[in-house]
Structure 1
C-alpha cells in the first residue's frame, strides 16, 4: 500500500504541468489576435484565426509533452511496483497533458469569440472548425509525448519542437491539398464566401484516426496485446480515408455564400454586406452628390449595392454595383464612388486610341466626383466649364451623356447654344404622374 501511495502521489504532483496553461494561452491568444481583423468580424475568419493559433500552440504543446515524457521516464520503476498495466501511467499522462492544452485552447477560443461578438459580426459560426483545431492540438500532444517515451533523450523535446514547427510552417494557405492536413493552413476568407464544412469533417476524421492509431500502437507495444491490431487497423483506415478526401478536395476550402444585405434607404438605397454595416453612412454621404448630378441621364442610379469581388462594377437599371475594401481602410467610400464613375464608361470606346486623349471626360469626372479639376491643354474650355453653375452643368450632361460615356467629348460639346447660356437657363423638369 505504501508503494501504491507513492505512485498516486507522484501522479498527483503532475498537476504542476498545468502551469503550462498560461504559457500556451498567451501564445495562442497572440497568434489568434494577429489573424483577427476587428473592423470586419466575420465568423469564418474567427475560425481561421483559431486554426492559425493551433499552428503555434501545437509545436509548443508537443515540445512540452516530449519534455514531460523524458523527465518522467526514469521514474517508471515506481509504477512497476503496482499491479497496474504498464500503459496506465502513459494514458494518465496523455490525459493530463491533453487537458492542459485543451484548457488553453478553450480560453483562446473564448477570446476570439468575444472579439467577434463585440464588433459588427456576420456569417455563421463553424463548430466543426473549432473541433478540428482541438483535434490537431491533441494530436501534437500525443506525438510529442510518445516520441519522448520511445526516445528518452535530452534532445528529444527540442527535436520534437523543431520538427512540428517545421511541419506547421512548410505549408502555404490555399496552394494544395497538402496544406489542409492538420494543423491546416487556411487562407483568409473573403466576404460573400464561406468555409466548406466538409473539409473540417475530413480533418477531424484524420486527427482522430491518427491519434487513436498512435495510442493503440504504443499500448500494443507496451502490453504485447496483439488483439489491439484490429482497432489499430480501423484507425489507420480512417486516417487514409480522410487523407484521400482532403486530396480529392484539391485544396478548395471556400465556397460562395449568400448574405442578406443591410440597407439604408434615404435619400438613396445603399446595401452592403452585414459585416460592413458601419460603412453605410460614409458610403451614403459619398454617393448622394454623384447620384444627384447623374439624375435624368442614362447613368442615373437610386441604389448602390456592394457586390462580391468577382462580379463586375456596373451601373444598370438604376443600380450601381460597387466593391468595398473589406478592412474599411481610409478613403474606401470615395474609392467606391469612383468605381461608379468608371462603370459609366463604354469600355470598348474608351480604350480606343482616340478615347478622351484631350482630358475632357476627366474634366467632367472631376466635377461629378467633387475633385479638383485637372489641367488640360484646352484651358479655354476648362475655364468655360468652371464658370457654369451646378444646374447648367447638369443640364449639359443630360444633353451630352452619350459622348461622355464613349469618351468622345470635344471642345464643340462645351459650346452651348446662345439661347441656353442666359441666366434663365433651366433644367427640364418632368411633371409628376
Structure 2
C-alpha cells in the first residue's frame, strides 16, 4: 500500500496538470467570446458558443494529453512495483487529465453564463448542450492520451493536435448532418428558434459511447481480459445508434421557439423579443414620427412588433411587423422603420420603382431624411414649402397614388378652389323676365 500511495502522490504532482488547466482555460475563453459579443443575450447561443469552443479547445487538450502520456511513459517501472493491473495507471491518468480539462471547461461555462445573466439573457439554459461539450472535450483527452501510450514519440503530441484539428475542420456549420458529429459546429441560433434537445442527447451518447469504446479497447489490449468484449460491443452499438440519430436530425436540428415579447406601451405599443429589450427606447423614438405622419391614412399603425426573419414585413390591422438586427448594430432602429415605409408599397405596382422620383420625395419626409433632388424641381419646391400639417393633409388625399407608386406632377400642384355657381333662378322669376 505504501508503494501504491507513493505512485499516486507522484501522479498527482505532475506538471502536465498544472500546465493544462490555464492553457485550456485561455484557449477556450478566446474561442467562446466571439460568439458572446453580439448584443442579444440568448441562452441557446451561449450553449452553442460552448459547444463550438470545443472545436478549438479539443485539439489543444488532445495534444497536452498526448504530451503527458509520452512524458510520463518512462515512469511506468514505478507502477510495476505494485500489484496493480497494468491498466490502472492509464485509467488514473485519464481521470486526472479529464478532470483538469473539465475544470477549464467549467470556468469557461461559468464565464459565458455570467455574461448572459448580466445582459438578462432570454430563453432557457440547456444542460444537455453543456454536457455535449464536456463529453466531447473528454473524448479529445482520451484520444490524445491513448495515442501517446500506443505511439510514445516526441512527434505524437503534434500529430494528435493535427489529426483532431483536421477532424474539427471538416465541420461546416449548418451544411449537413456531418457537422453535428462532435465536436459539433453549430451556426448562430436566430431569435425565435432553439436547438432541439434530442441533438444534444445524441451527441452525449455518441461521445460517451466512443470514449468508453476507446478505453475498453485499450484495457482489453493491455490486460487480455476478453470479458470486456461485451461492454465494448455495447459501447460501439450506443455510438452507432447516436450516429443514426444525428443523421436523422440533419437540417432539423433547430426548431421554432415562440417567445413572450417584452413591450413598451407609450406612445406606441412596441414589442420585441425579450433578448432585444434594450432596443425598445430607440425603436420607439424612431417609429413615433412615422406613425404620426401616417395617421389618418390606410397605412396608419399604432403598434410595432418584431417578427422572425422568415415572416414577412407588413403593415396590417394597425400593426407594423418588422425585423430587427440581432446584434443591434448602429442604425438598427432606422432600418426597421424604413422596412415599414417599404411595406406600404403595392406589391404588383411598385416593382419597377416610382417614375420621376416623386415617391422618394415623400419617403424622405416620412423617414425624417433630407428631401432628395428630383427632375421636377417645381414639385419638389412646392412639397418643401408645405408645413408639417399641410404635408399630412396632402398625404391623406394622395395616399392611394403614393401606395401604388403612381404619383405624378399633377399631385403636387396647388389645388384650385372650386367655382361656386349662382343658384338657378326659379321658373317664376324666369317667366317674369
Interval of TM-score (by shorter of Structure 1 and Structure 2): over 0.9
SS of equivalent to 1:326 = coil
- Would you say the 8 A contact 1:87–1:222 is kept in 2? yes
Matches within 5 A, 1:251-262: 251-262=251-262
Task: Give 2:374's aligned residue.
Answer: 376
SS of equivalent to 1:249 = helix
Give distance in 2, aligned partners of 1:8 and 1:202: 36
Cα distance, 1:89 vs structure 2: 0.4
Give distance in 1, aligned partners of 2:190 and 2:416: 54
Change (3 A) 1:212 1:416: same
Task: Give 2:134's aligned residue.
Answer: 134
Of the two, which has the highest radius of gyration? Answer: 2
Give distance in 1, aligned partners of 2:6 and 2:412: 99
Change (3 A) 1:263 1:4: closer
Task: Give 2:80's aligned residue.
Answer: 80
The one-character-per-residue Cα deviations of 1:256-313 (angstroms, maximum 9, x if unpaired) are 1101111111111000111111111111111111111111100000000110111111
Task: Give 2:363's aligned residue.
Answer: 365
Matches within 5 A, 1:211-226: 211-226=211-226
Matches within 5 A, 1:30-429: 30-352=30-352, 355-419=353-417
Cα distance, 1:254 vs structure 2: 1.0
- Number of aligned residue pairs: 418
SS of equivalent to 1:358 = helix
- Would you say the 8 A contact 2:16–2:68 is kept in 1? no
Q: Which runs of 5+ in 2 are unaligned?
A: 419-433
Task: Give 1:427's aligned residue.
Answer: none
- Would you say the 8 A contact 2:287–2:337 is kept in 1? yes
Cα distance, 1:4 vs structure 2: 4.1
4+ residue stretches of structure 1 with deviation over 6 A? Answer: none
- Would you say the 8 A contact 1:178–1:251 is kept in 2? no
Cα distance, 1:6 vs structure 2: 4.3
Cα distance, 1:71 vs structure 2: 1.4
Give distance in 2, aligned partners of 1:5 and 1:264: 66
TM-score of the two chains, using structure 1 as the length reference: 0.94
Change (3 A) 1:2 1:345: closer
Cα distance, 1:136 vs structure 2: 0.2
The one-character-per-residue Cα deviations of 1:292-339 (angstroms, maximum 9, x if unpaired) are 111110000000011011111101110101111111111111111111
Cα distance, 1:384 vs structure 2: 0.7
The one-character-per-residue Cα deviations of 1:77-113 (angstroms, maximum 9, x if unpaired) are 2212211111110100000000000000000000000
The one-character-per-residue Cα deviations of 1:43-95 (angstroms, maximum 9, x if unpaired) are 11101111122111111111111111111222212212211111110100000
Q: Which runs of 5+ in 1 are unaligned?
A: 421-433
Give distance in 1, aligned partners of 2:409 and 2:5: 101
Change (3 A) 1:303 1:9: closer
Cα distance, 1:15 vs structure 2: 6.6
Give distance in 2, aligned partners of 1:262 and 1:383: 43
SS of equivalent to 2:250 = coil
Change (3 A) 1:76 1:286: same
Cα distance, 1:253 vs structure 2: 2.2
